[in-house]
Every structure is written in structure tokens, then in C-alpha cells.
């Protein structure tokens, strides 16, 4: 058991503070009219309002003391200077080098030179693709590009391509094929013409079953129409150049990235190629620039005024001192609809860990369940639980001050709803307020007594609100980097390695074992009765189908 964290004086002080201090948000606001100004941070094109949290000056001081006690400043230096902090894979986690304007040395070499070289290759390729210069086997320009990848090789670029739609050229259209489900393949290909479609196979390892299976099916689909010239319809992004060659992709179509970039932190590398294809290389570079500005803020701002650090510490505060095991992400922007999915991988694959870096079991909780969907849609689906459920779920609201569209009235309604929800979660509605409303409606005393409990909102439900000036490439880059650093900060507090993902391995191995067992009459190895029963049941259904 690791009690290195929970026995720290800073931790104990927080536990004591939690025990002895009642956090009533209504009262905190009533007591301090300047609370918003006190608990907001703005940097670049982002503002973080963290005033609707269980927090006072002392809480902030104690949380920052915890960060200090865990050596956060030193860990940030280790991160950005390329120490091998991914200890189980003996690698650095140098995503910040992908957007650095200064040299970053790894084993005595400036790795930003490689970044610049691949960026130039991305610019050439995306310019030619967008300009119709690049042609397929039949001499036609490409109208459509499919990104074939999953996890970190899909979620970040897919998020950015959606988010940057106002910057996106009409052609080529960019599609994302991630799931090995043939329905995803069918749905993507059915609308496309192989003669004018290019596929980018994106896989850091180039061994991922889903990606390689999908790439193979796309190759067959292309070959059926363009024959041997299908090579002109492929590009690859990978850290395993040899395997991409093995798949038959030409040198100049392979975009390299490196072991020192984690998959879920890779959208700033050539994994961002579909972003450059959709929105242009300038937009991609502006996004990296926004992320770089956030890096600068993270590495230099004092912790009490440091956006990622504050978000991270508040997360730890709720998970470990209030037992809140879920965290909602609520973007009030349809262009950020994929943001919760993106954050699920970023946060849960990074910090969903149960042992310390040294392998000791933890005696405290780590990553909460991260989930959500865009407002206002979510309001008509799951917000009931956020307001009146038995579990308190801290939330992040994300919204843009200015839209890219001209429907000003819509945007005002969107903003009003966003702010209303965080206000409602915070204020709630007391029994007295509920009763007064029912009285004003002229209901009888019996009816009022019957309905009041249903109309009460407990309130005191904490949330952050992040306001982007507008969803520009730069603001998007800063927003994503904000969360990358939040996740890293939490991993430092929890003493875990945010950069491995061993938890995905077991299922992969078992799937490899079960795959041949699904064939009719194939021997079935030893399994529990449920797994065996399911394999047999599915086989019987499929053979019934096949014998019809
Ligand atoms: O299985 C999980 C994972 O390794 C993720 O970490 C990664 O982003 C994804 O699979 C895809 O991996 P690759 O880019 O190597 O295909």
C-alpha cells in the first residue's frame, strides 16, 4: 500500500479542512461579491471561472501546498526537458516538444529539427492535396480523405476537424474510420468514389488490429476499382516506418513520429495531418501555437494562478476528499461535441491507474469517470441527474463568447443556457423557494406539501466554466493543452505514470484467442462458462443464418 501521499502533512491538512469547513456555495458567493474576480484566471483566448467550487483562500493555499509537496514544479521540468518519466516503457513524454519554438535535446540531439522536417512534409502534402495537385491512379484529384486510426490516432484529429469546420475547405472532405465494426467501414465507403479517395493509415505502432483490418479492407475496395495503382491512394503516419513500408506505402507518403510522443498526446505530430488537410497547415500550426502558449503558462505561472494546475487540484479535491467518482464535461458548442470522447481517452487512459510509478497499490482514488455531451442536448437527457440525483457530479462547462455563425439569437440562447445550468447547479432551489412558487400558482396546502420535495434542488453542485473568445485554431490548441497538463498534474499528485496504458492489453490478447474460436467447428479453449456459452451461442446463430 502506498501511503506516501495520504501521510503528507499537506494531505492531512486538506482532510482536516474538509472535515471542519462547510462549503455552501450560496453562502460563499453572498459573503464575497468579488468571488468571481478572485477565482478566475484568464490567459490568451481562454478564461477559467473556478469560483463555483468548494474553495476559499485556505483551500487554495492547502491545495497548492499539496502540489508543492509532491514536487510539481520539478516534475513539470522533467516533463518538458524529456526525462524518461514514462518509467514502465523507459520513454520521455515530449508532446510539448512538438509545439516548442526552442530546441529540445534528447540524448544530445535537438529533436525539434525532426519536427520541423515532418511539418514541412505535411505542408507540402496537405497543400497539394487541397490544391488538387495530388492525383489518384486514374489521374483525378482527391475529393475525399479517410483517416484510418483509433484511440489517439483518431480522437484528437476528429475533434479538431469538427471544431475547425469554419476554417475547412469544401474539398477534400475528411472522414474518420476507427471501429473495426464493418458497419463503420460500409457507412464510410458507401458514400465515396474509390477513384477520388485517399486513405491515411494512422497508427503509432502499426500493429493495431482495428486499424490494420480496416486499412486492408479499404485497400481491397480501392484495388477493385483502380487495380495496382492503389498505392497512390495511401499515406501513413507512424512511429513504425518499417511496418508502413511492409504495408506497401511509399517513403514520401510516410509521415514519421516518434516513440517519445504518446498516442493520446500525438495530435500535434503528423497524426494531425487530417487537420492540415481539412483546415490547412496554417490552421494546424496556429493550433500548435495555442498549445505552446498554454505550455508557457503551465510552466511559468504560479500554481494558484495556473489554469491546468487549478483544474487538476480541484479534481483531486473532489475525488479524494469528497468521494466524487464522476466528472462531467459539458461543451456548449456543437463543434466540440467530440470533446468528452477525446477527454475520456486523455484522462482515463492516462490516469486510470491503481499503482504508483513504483508499483505499489494505492490507498486513494485516482481518475474519475469522465463523461458528457454537448449542451443544450444534454439538458434534455441527463441533467435531471446532475440537478436532483443522489450523486454529486462536478462539471466543466465549455463555451465560446463569439460564434462563427451569424445566428446571434441562437448564440445568446446557448450562452444563457450554459450559464443558467451552472448557476442552477450551484444555487439549487430551497424548500421555501419551491413552496413560494407553488403558492404563487394558487395550489392547495395539501398539493404544496405533496409537490414540494420533488421541486427542491439541493444545489451546492460545483462546476468550472471555461470561456473561449471563439473557437479559433489557437484557442482550440490552448484548450486541449490545458487538459493535457491538468492530467499530468493529477498524475504527479497521485504519484502514477500517466503515459502507459497496460490496462488495454489483456482484452487485446483474449480477443486474439477468441477470434479463431468463433469459426464453426473450431476447437474452443478453456474459458469460464459465460465466455464459452457466448461463443457457442453466437456460433449456433451464425451457422443457422449461413444454412438458410
Ligand atoms: O490500445 C490503446 C492504444 O494503444 C492507445 O493508447 C492508442 O492511442 C491506440 O491504441 C491506437 O494505437 P496506434 O496508434 O498504435 O494504432
pLDDT per position as a tens digit, 316-328: 999 999 999 999 9
- The pLDDT, as a whole number, for residue 327 is 98
Phi, psi of 417 (to 5 degrees): -65, -40
* Cell numbers 482527391: residue: 142
How far does the centroid of ligand 1 lie from the alpha carbon of residue 153, in Å? 7
**Protein residues whose CB sits closer than 6 Å to any atom of ligand 1:** 150-153, 203-205, 208, 211, 263-264, 349, 501, 504
Contact 177, 146 (CB under 8 A): yes
- The pLDDT, as a whole number, for residue 542 is 79
pLDDT tens across 21-80, in order? 999 999 999 999 999 999 999 999 999 999 999 999 999 999 999 999 999 999 999 999
Average of per-residue pLDDT across 200-209:
97
Mutating to test ligand 1, I would choose from 147, 179, 204 the residue with most ligand atoms within 8 A of its C-beta, which is: 204
- The pLDDT, as a whole number, for residue 544 is 64
- Decide if 37 is catalytic: no
- Decide if 296 is catalytic: no
pLDDT tens across 217-263, in order? 999 999 999 998 899 999 999 999 999 999 999 999 999 999 999 99
Beta strands 46-49; 40-43: pairing state:
antiparallel
How far does the centroid of ligand 1 lie from the alpha carbon of residue 505, in Å? 10
Q: How confident is the model at residue 169 (pLDDT cuts 50, 70, 90)?
A: confident
Q: Whose CA is nearest to atom 6 of ligand 1?
A: 263
Cα–Cα dist 515/238, whole Å: 26
Mutating to test ligand 1, I would choose from 180, 206, 208 the residue with most ligand atoms within 8 A of its C-beta, which is: 208
Q: How confident is the model at residue 546 (pLDDT cuts 50, 70, 90)?
A: low
Ligand 1 atom closest to the Cα of residue 238 is 14
Q: Whose CA is nearest to atom 10 of ligand 1?
A: 151
Q: Whose CA is nearest to atom 8 of ligand 1?
A: 152
- The pLDDT, as a whole number, for residue 283 is 98
Q: How confident is the model at residue 3 (pLDDT cuts 50, 70, 90)?
A: confident
Average pLDDT, the chain: 97
Average of per-residue pLDDT across 173-193:
97
Contact 133, 118 (CB under 8 A): no
- The pLDDT, as a whole number, for residue 228 is 86
Q: Whose CA is nearest to atom 13 of ligand 1?
A: 203
How far does the centroid of ligand 1 lie from the alpha carbon of residue 207, in Å? 9
Mutating to test ligand 1, I would choose from 86, 237, 264, 501 the residue with most ligand atoms within 8 A of its C-beta, which is: 501
Average of per-residue pLDDT across 95-121:
97
Torsional class of 461: left (φ above 0), alpha (ψ -120 to 50), beta (otherwise): beta
> Which is catalytic among the residues 232, 349, 485, 486?
349
- Decide if 232 is catalytic: no
pLDDT tens across 333-366, in order? 999 999 999 999 999 999 999 999 999 999 999 9
Q: In the sheet where 234-238 sits, what is the strand order? A: 173-177, 144-148, 197-202, 234-238, 254-256
How far does the centroid of ligand 1 lie from the alpha carbon of residue 368, in Å? 21
pLDDT higher than threshold 90 for residue 547 = no
How far does the centroid of ligand 1 lie from the alpha carbon of residue 262, in Å? 9
Q: How confident is the model at residue 469 (pLDDT cuts 50, 70, 90)?
A: very high
- The pLDDT, as a whole number, for residue 189 is 98
Q: How confident is the model at residue 308 (pLDDT cuts 50, 70, 90)?
A: very high
Closest CA to 193 of 276, 136, 271: 136
Q: What percent of the chain has pLDDT over 70?
A: 99
Ligand 1 atom closest to the Cα of residue 208 is 16
pLDDT tens across 405-428, in order? 999 999 999 999 999 999 999 999
- The pLDDT, as a whole number, for residue 2 is 61
- The pLDDT, as a whole number, for residue 373 is 97
How far does the centroid of ligand 1 lie from the alpha carbon of residue 203, in Å? 7
Beta strands 197-202; 254-256: pairing state:
unpaired
- The pLDDT, as a whole number, for residue 543 is 72
* Cell numbers 458514400: residue: 191
Contact 332, 506 (CB under 8 A): no
Cα–Cα dist 258/260, whole Å: 5
Amino acid at each position: 500500500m502506498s501511503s506516501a501521499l495520504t501521510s503528507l502533512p499537506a494531505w492531512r491538512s486538506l482532510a482536516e479542512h474538509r472535515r471542519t469547513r462547510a462549503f455552501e456555495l450560496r453562502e460563499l458567493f453572498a459573503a464575497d461579491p468579488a468571488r468571481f474576480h478572485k477565482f478566475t484566471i484568464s490567459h490568451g483566448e481562454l478564461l477559467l471561472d473556478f469560483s463555483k467550487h468548494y474553495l476559499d483562500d485556505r483551500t487554495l493555499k492547502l491545495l497548492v501546498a499539496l502540489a508543492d509537496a509532491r514536487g510539481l514544479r520539478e516534475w513539470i521540468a522533467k516533463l518538458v526537458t524529456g526525462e524518461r518519466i514514462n518509467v514502465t516503457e523507459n520513454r520521455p513524454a515530449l508532446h510539448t516538444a512538438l509545439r516548442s519554438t526552442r530546441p529540445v535535446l534528447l540524448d544530445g540531439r535537438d529533436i525539434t529539427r525532426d519536427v520541423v522536417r515532418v511539418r514541412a512534409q505535411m505542408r507540402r502534402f496537405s497543400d497539394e492535396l487541397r490544391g488538387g495537385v495530388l492525383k489518384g491512379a486514374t489521374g483525378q484529384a482527391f475529393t475525399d480523405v479517410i483517416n484510418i486510426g483509433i484511440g489517439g490516432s483518431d480522437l484528437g484529429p476528429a475533434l479538431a476537424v469538427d471544431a475547425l469546420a469554419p476554417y475547412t475547405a469544401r474539398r477534400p472532405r475528411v472522414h474518420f474510420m476507427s471501429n473495426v465494426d464493418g458497419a463503420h467501414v460500409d457507412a464510410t465507403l458507401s458514400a465515396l468514389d474509390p477513384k477520388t479517395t485517399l486513405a491515411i493509415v494512422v497508427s503509432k505502432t502499426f500493429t493495431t488490429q482495428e486499424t490494420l483490418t480496416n486499412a486492408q479492407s479499404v485497400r481491397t475496395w480501392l484495388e477493385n476499382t483502380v487495380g495496382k495503382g492503389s498505392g497512390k491512394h495511401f499515406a501513413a503516419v507512424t512511429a513504425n516506418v518499417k511496418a508502413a513500408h511492409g504495408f506497401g506505402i511509399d517513403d514520401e507518403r510516410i509521415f514519421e513520429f516518434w516513440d517519445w510522443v504518446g498516442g493520446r498526446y500525438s495530435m500535434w505530430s503528423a497524426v494531425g495531418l487530417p487537420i492540415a488537410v481539412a483546415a490547412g497547415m496554417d490552421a494546424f500550426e496556429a493550433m500548435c501555437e495555442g498549445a505552446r502558449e498554454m505550455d508557457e503558462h503551465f510552466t511559468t505561472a504560479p500554481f494558484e494562478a495556473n489554469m491546468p494546475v487549478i483544474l487538476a487540484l480541484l479534481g483531486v479535491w473532489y475525488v479524494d476528499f469528497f468521494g466524487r467518482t464522476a466528472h462531467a464535461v459539458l461543451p456548449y458548442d456543437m463543434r466540440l461535441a467530440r470533446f468528452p470522447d477525446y477527454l475520456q481517452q486523455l484522462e482515463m487512459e492516462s490516469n486510470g491507474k491503481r499503482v504508483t510509478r513504483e508499483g505499489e497499490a494505492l490507498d486513494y482514488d485516482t481518475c474519475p469517470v469522465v463523461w458528457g455531451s454537448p449542451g443544450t442536448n444534454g439538458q434534455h437527457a441527463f441533467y435531471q441527474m446532475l440537478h436532483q440525483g443522489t450523486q454529486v457530479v462536478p462539471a466543466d462547462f465549455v463555451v465560446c463568447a463569439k460564434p462563427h455563425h451569424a445566428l446571434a439569437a441562437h448564440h445568446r440562447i446557448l450562452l444563457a443556457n450554459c450559464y443558467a445550468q451552472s448557476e442552477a447547479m450551484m444555487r439549487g432551489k430551497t424548500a421555501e423557494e419551491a413552496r413560494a412558487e407553488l403558492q404563487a400558482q394558487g395550489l392547495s396546502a395539501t398539493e404544496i406539501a405533496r409537490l414540494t420535495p420533488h421541486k427542491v434542488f439541493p444545489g451546492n453542485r460545483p462546476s468550472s466554466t471555461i470561456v473561449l473568445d471563439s473557437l479559433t485554431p489557437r484557442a482550440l490548441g490552448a484548450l486541449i493543452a490545458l487538459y493535457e497538463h491538468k492530467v499530468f498534474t493529477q498524475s504527479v499528485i497521485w504519484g502514477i505514470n500517466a503515459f502507459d496504458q497496460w490496462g488495454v492489453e489483456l482484452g487485446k490478447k483474449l480477443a486474439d484467442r477468441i477470434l479463431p474460436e468463433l469459426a464453426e467447428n473450431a476447437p474452443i479453449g478453456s474459458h469460464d462458462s459465460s465466455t464459452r456459452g457466448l461463443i457457442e451461442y453466437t456460433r449456433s446463430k451464425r451457422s443457422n443464418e449461413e444454412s438458410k
